[in-house]
């Protein structure tokens, strides 16, 4: 099927109320419509769902969406129904939570062809009776969300995901679109192999989330730190992740004792309480949820302002996914993790009962997390590199290490030594082993390879393991080394590394960070930096009106018993404070507001705005409301409003972060 870009934009506006596609969305949809298998790597919040929801809504037949968690299917289905004016039959889910009558209703809708999207858990998909039923339908395509679950090297491996390909064959082949927000190069290759789509068109967007701030703190007094942090950020929505259920309960209670409304969430709670707590968070009855990693997958609350890891996570994939839940609306998001080496040891101990291969994978993933936490390198660089992406900026400006750069040293000799060693060992060993050789450690592994007789054995014995690991790690970040995808963990020398080895040059490196107890001033600095970052990310608009709209949204979401963001997201509310729409027609011009939504939820909002406009004698920018490039025009509107309010030009310019000349160009 071919659809012009123009038509696709109309459909986007019609169903979702958006003016423009985000990132690669359009290309992805076009490729799927052209009948290709498609593989989408896009960070959390990038807008993956729309890549399958939009084509599903207008293609003939039903799209099968495979999604790992029952809890989140309902959310997604509710959201689609909200977008499409509440048509219940348009989207359904099929899982073990439905009773017989509900299943019948779903099946009837499916057979009648009214249902455009069917969400299924892999467990339900693989049931024989379901396969038999689905065979009779026309399937438009298959969407596999959270596709990293296919790989054992992903952070959330699910064996049933491995059977998807086979089931697709049984039901009837149609294009497959696989999507994930976290995949290292190794996981990517696993996914494509397992789904049997080596020729899929791959759309990889940058994993960089410039609005997220990353910080690792000493775990010397995490409870005090967390309480202080939340008190300094009142009214903001946040998630605190802990590894154990016991810790979740403890921290939630502690926060409540300290006057912070927080609820716990973990898999050990009964499901009614669990979903009640989740809803309370989504509906903004509480600001903070304290949870194990059982919470959050697919939870699409766009205005989570902080994610705190009380315990260091087991893998960087998990960490990235969890931190990715902050700032999905593109605004402020702070990601703070507490680190202590003791936690790493604890996690290693937990792994001991597991099968050897699983332990091996677990230990390596944990090693990466540790390296990340202890690194003095830009966190963003480190993370992006981990997911196979280059990052060229010297200073990202929004992580603890870039805001507080550490002293560097010339590591020319040391790097050359490492490269020489790797070269002499035919690139067949892991960083720990290399470090042990340089240190002159005669452990059993070193001996088993006879490496205690290697000419470079002990060549770096005046340093520490930590030092050599940091050098190797930076070799990878500087692209002198890279990791073998198929044999995970083995480091190879790149072309650039060979050049360096032939002719070494000055190379500035940092040592890893020592985690000591009570670095108080460090903490203070970081807090200040975080606050500044927050200020620079927050949008501008009419704050008084924004607060009123948010209250209204809260009240309406309770009345309708729907999560707040299903009504209108923060960017939409923000647009309302700039455009001051007072009719439903005008409301549609706000970002993220489609006709369906405007008609269904908009009335009380435009009424409130109309009253507000009248009471405050606001001159509405009504001749400007047809916007082409939203950001530029909204800048203009702000300027015009400023002029209306008789503010001096200089002040308006400053508020918009513009020079006077730029401002004058804009009016
Ligand atoms: P992901 O699954 O990639 O984490 P979602 O599909 O949940 O992300 O989308 C994240 C947010 O982005 C949602 O609030 C969604 O409504 C919004 N969004 C998606 N596409 C667009 C678009 N083209 N324009 C504006 N907002 C969008
Ligand atoms: Mg998603």
pLDDT, position 296: 78
Task: Using only the alpha carbons of the chain, give its radius of gyration.
Answer: 27
Atom of ligand 1 lying closest to residue 42 CA: 3
- Per DSSP (E only), the strands in 340-447 are 409-410
With a 6 Å cutoff on the Cβ, whether 47 touches ligand 1 is yes
How many angstroms separate the CA atoms of 342 and 170, rounded? 49
Testing ligand 1's pocket by substitution, the residue of 12, 40, 46, 49 carrying the most ligand atoms inside 8 A of its CB is 49
Quick one: how far is CA 648 from the chain centroid? 41
CA of residue 196 to ligand 2 center, whole Å: 22
CB atoms within 10 A of CB 331: 18
- Of residues 652 and 340, the one with the higher pLDDT is 340
Please report the domains of the chain, with CATH numbers, ordered by start residue: 5-204 (3.40.50.300), 212-358 (3.40.50.300), 408-510 (1.10.10.10), 543-666 (1.10.150.80)
Quick one: how far is CA 537 from the chain centroid? 17
- Per DSSP (E only), the strands in 332-414 are 333-339, 409-410
pLDDT, position 627: 28
Band (pLDDT 50/70/90 cuts) for residue 664 is low
0.85 surpassed by pTM: no
Contacts of 287 (CB under 8 A, 6+ apart): 230, 235, 236, 237, 238, 260, 261, 262
For 47, left (φ over 0), alpha (ψ -120 to 50), or beta? left
How many angstroms separate the CA atoms of 62 and 110, rounded? 8
- The ligand that comes nearest to the alpha carbon of residue 69 is 2
| Element holding 481 (H helix, E strand) | strand 481-483
With a 6 Å cutoff on the Cβ, whether 179 touches ligand 1 is no
Strand 288-291 with 262-265, pairing: parallel
Q: Is residue 131 pLDDT above 80, yes or no?
A: yes
CA of residue 22 to ligand 2 center, whole Å: 14
pLDDT, position 594: 84
Encode pLDDT of 513-566 as tens digits: 877 544 333 333 344 344 334 433 444 567 888 999 999 999 999 998 888 888
What percentage of the chain exceeds 90 in pLDDT? 56
CB 396 within 8 A of CB 381: yes
With a 6 Å cutoff on the Cβ, whether 124 touches ligand 1 is no
Helix axes 245-257, 222-232, angle to 10 degrees: 50
With a 6 Å cutoff on the Cβ, whether 48 touches ligand 1 is yes
CA of residue 18 to ligand 1 center, whole Å: 10
Residue having the nearest C-alpha atom to atom 20 of ligand 1: 47
CA of residue 22 to ligand 1 center, whole Å: 8
Contacts of 246 (CB under 8 A, 6+ apart): none
- The DSSP line for 219-233 is SSSHHHHHHHHHHHS
Q: Is residue 192 pLDDT above 90, yes or no?
A: yes
| Range list of H helices, 387-464 | 400-403, 412-424, 431-439, 444-448
Sign of the Cα pseudo-torsion (67, 72, 73, 78, in order): negative
With a 6 Å cutoff on the Cβ, whether 69 touches ligand 1 is no
Atom of ligand 1 lying closest to residue 302 CA: 14
- The ligand that comes nearest to the alpha carbon of residue 302 is 1
Residue having the nearest C-alpha atom to atom 17 of ligand 1: 47
- The ligand that comes nearest to the alpha carbon of residue 47 is 1
CB 357 within 8 A of CB 367: no
The pLDDT of 259-275, averaged and rounded, is 91
With a 6 Å cutoff on the Cβ, whether 44 touches ligand 1 is yes
CA of residue 227 to ligand 2 center, whole Å: 30
Q: Is residue 644 pLDDT above 60, yes or no?
A: no
With a 6 Å cutoff on the Cβ, whether 301 touches ligand 1 is no
Q: Is residue 647 pLDDT above 70, yes or no?
A: no
Q: Which residues pair with 264 in a beta bridge?
A: 290
Nearest to 479 by CA among 490, 495, 460: 495
Q: Report the greatest alpha carbon distance in the chain.
A: 86
Encode pLDDT of 450-495 as tens digits: 999 999 999 999 999 889 999 998 999 888 998 887 777 789 999 9
Q: Is residue 14 pLDDT above 50, yes or no?
A: yes
The pLDDT of 200-211, averaged and rounded, is 93
The pLDDT of 271-282, averaged and rounded, is 92
Residue having the nearest C-alpha atom to atom 25 of ligand 1: 18
Residue having the nearest C-alpha atom to atom 18 of ligand 1: 47
CA of residue 204 to ligand 2 center, whole Å: 15
With a 6 Å cutoff on the Cβ, whether 507 touches ligand 1 is no
CA dihedral 53, 54, 60, 61 (to 10 degrees): 0
CA angle 47, 48, 54 (to 5 degrees): 90
Nearest to 176 by CA among 201, 153, 159: 201
Testing ligand 1's pocket by substitution, the residue of 18, 21, 50, 119 carrying the most ligand atoms inside 8 A of its CB is 50
With a 6 Å cutoff on the Cβ, whether 31 touches ligand 1 is no
Nearest to 124 by CA among 141, 151, 106: 106
CA angle 387, 392, 397 (to 5 degrees): 95
CA angle 562, 567, 568 (to 5 degrees): 145
pLDDT, position 524: 35
CA of residue 48 to ligand 2 center, whole Å: 6
Q: For 93-159, what is the HEC assignment?
A: EECCCCCHHHHHHHHHHHHHCCCCEEEECHHHHCCHHHHHHHHCCCEEEEEECCHHHHCCCCCCCCH
Residue having the nearest C-alpha atom to atom 2 of ligand 1: 48
How many angstroms separate the CA atoms of 322 and 44, rounded? 9
- Of residues 243 and 661, the one with the higher pLDDT is 243
pLDDT, position 544: 84
Nearest to 580 by CA among 544, 625, 536, 539: 625
- The ligand that comes nearest to the alpha carbon of residue 575 is 1
Q: Is residue 66 pLDDT above 60, yes or no?
A: yes
How many angstroms separate the CA atoms of 542 and 548, rounded? 10
CA of residue 145 to ligand 2 center, whole Å: 7
How many angstroms separate the CA atoms of 394 and 377, rounded? 10
With a 6 Å cutoff on the Cβ, whether 9 touches ligand 1 is no
pLDDT, position 625: 33
CA of residue 45 to ligand 1 center, whole Å: 6
Q: Is residue 11 pLDDT above 80, yes or no?
A: yes
- The ligand that comes nearest to the alpha carbon of residue 72 is 2
With a 6 Å cutoff on the Cβ, whether 49 touches ligand 1 is yes
Mean pLDDT of all residues belonging to the chain: 86
């Amino acid at each position: 099927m071919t659809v012009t870009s123009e038509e696709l934009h109309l459909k986007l506006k019609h169903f979702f109320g958006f003016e423009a596609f985000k990132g690669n969305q359009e290309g992805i949809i076009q490729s799927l419509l052209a009948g290709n298998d498609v593989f989408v790597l896009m960070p959390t919040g990038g807008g993956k769902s729309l890549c399958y929801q939009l084509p599903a809504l207008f293609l003939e037949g039903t799209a099968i969406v495979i999604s790992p968690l029952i809890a989140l299917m309902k959310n997604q289905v509710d959201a689609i129904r909200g977008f499409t004016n509440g048509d219940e039959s348009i989207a359904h889910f099929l899982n073990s939570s439905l009773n017989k009558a509900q299943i019948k209703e779903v099946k009837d809708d499916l057979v009648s062809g009214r249902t455009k999207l069917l969400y299924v858990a892999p467990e339900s998909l693989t049931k024989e009776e379901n396969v038999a039923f689905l065979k009779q339908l026309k399937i438009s395509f298959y969407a596999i969300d959270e596709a990293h679950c296919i790989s054992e090297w992903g952070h959330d491996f699910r064996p049933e995901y491995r059977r998807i390909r086979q089931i697709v064959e049984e039901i009837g082949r149609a294009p497959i679109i696989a999507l994930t927000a976290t995949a290292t190069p190794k996981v990517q290759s696993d996914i494509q192999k397992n789904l049997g789509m080596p020729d899929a068109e791959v759309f990889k967007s940058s994993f960089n989330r410039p609005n997220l701030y990353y910080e690792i703190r000493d775990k010397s007094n995490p409870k005090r730190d967390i309480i202080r942090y939340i008190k300094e950020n009142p009214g903001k929505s946040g998630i605190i992740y802990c590894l154990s259920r016991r810790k979740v309960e403890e921290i939630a209670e502690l926060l409540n004792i300290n006057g912070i409304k927080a609820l716990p969430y973990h898999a050990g709670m009964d499901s009614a309480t669990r979903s009640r707590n989740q809803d309370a968070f989504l509906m903004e009855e509480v600001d903070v949820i304290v949870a194990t990693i059982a919470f959050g997958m697919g939870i699409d609350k766009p205005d989570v302002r902080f994610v705190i890891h009380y315990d260091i996570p087991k893998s960087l994939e998990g960490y990235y996914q969890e931190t990715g839940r902050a700032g999905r609306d593109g605004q402020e998001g702070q990601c703070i993790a507490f680190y202590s080496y003791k936690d790493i040891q604890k996690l290693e101990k937990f792994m001991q009962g597991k099968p050897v291969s699983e332990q091996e994978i677990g230990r390596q993933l944990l090693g990466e997390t540790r390296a990340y936490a202890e690194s003095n390198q830009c966190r963003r660089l480190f993370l992006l590199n981990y997911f196979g992406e280059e990052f060229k900026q010297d200073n990202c400006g929004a992580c603890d290490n870039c805001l507080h750069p550490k002293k560097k040293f010339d590591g020319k000799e040391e790097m050359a030594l490492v490269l020489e060693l790797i070269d002499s060992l035919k690139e067949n060993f892991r960083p720990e082993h290399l470090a042990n050789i340089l240190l002159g450690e005669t452990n059993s592994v070193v001996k088993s390879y006879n490496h205690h007789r290697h000419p470079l054995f002990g060549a770096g014995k005046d340093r520490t393991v930590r030092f050599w690991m940091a050098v190797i790690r930076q070799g990878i970040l500087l692209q002198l080394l890279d990791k073998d995808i198929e044999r995970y963990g083995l480091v190879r020398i790149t072309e650039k590394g060979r050049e360096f080895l032939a002719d070494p040059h000055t190379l500035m490196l940092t040592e890893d960070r020592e985690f000591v107890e009570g670095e108080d001033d460090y903490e203070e600095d970081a807090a200040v930096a975080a606050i500044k970052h927050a200020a620079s990310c927050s949008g501008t608009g009419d704050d008084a009106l924004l607060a009123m709209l948010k209250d209204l949204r809260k009240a309406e979401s309770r009345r309708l018993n729907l999560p707040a963001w299903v009504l209108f997201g923060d960017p939409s509310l923000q647009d309302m404070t700039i455009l001051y729409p007072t009719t439903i027609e005008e409301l549609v011009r706000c970002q993220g507001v489609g006709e369906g939504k405007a008609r269904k939820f908009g009335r009380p909002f435009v009424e409130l705005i109309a009253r507000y406009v009248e009471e405050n004698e606001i001159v509405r920018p009504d001749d400007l409301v047809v916007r082409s490039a939203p950001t530029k025009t909204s800048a203009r509107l702000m300027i015009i409003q400023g002029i209306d309010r008789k503010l001096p030009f200089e002040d308006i310019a400053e508020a918009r972060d513009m020079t006077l000349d730029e401002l004058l160009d804009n009016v």
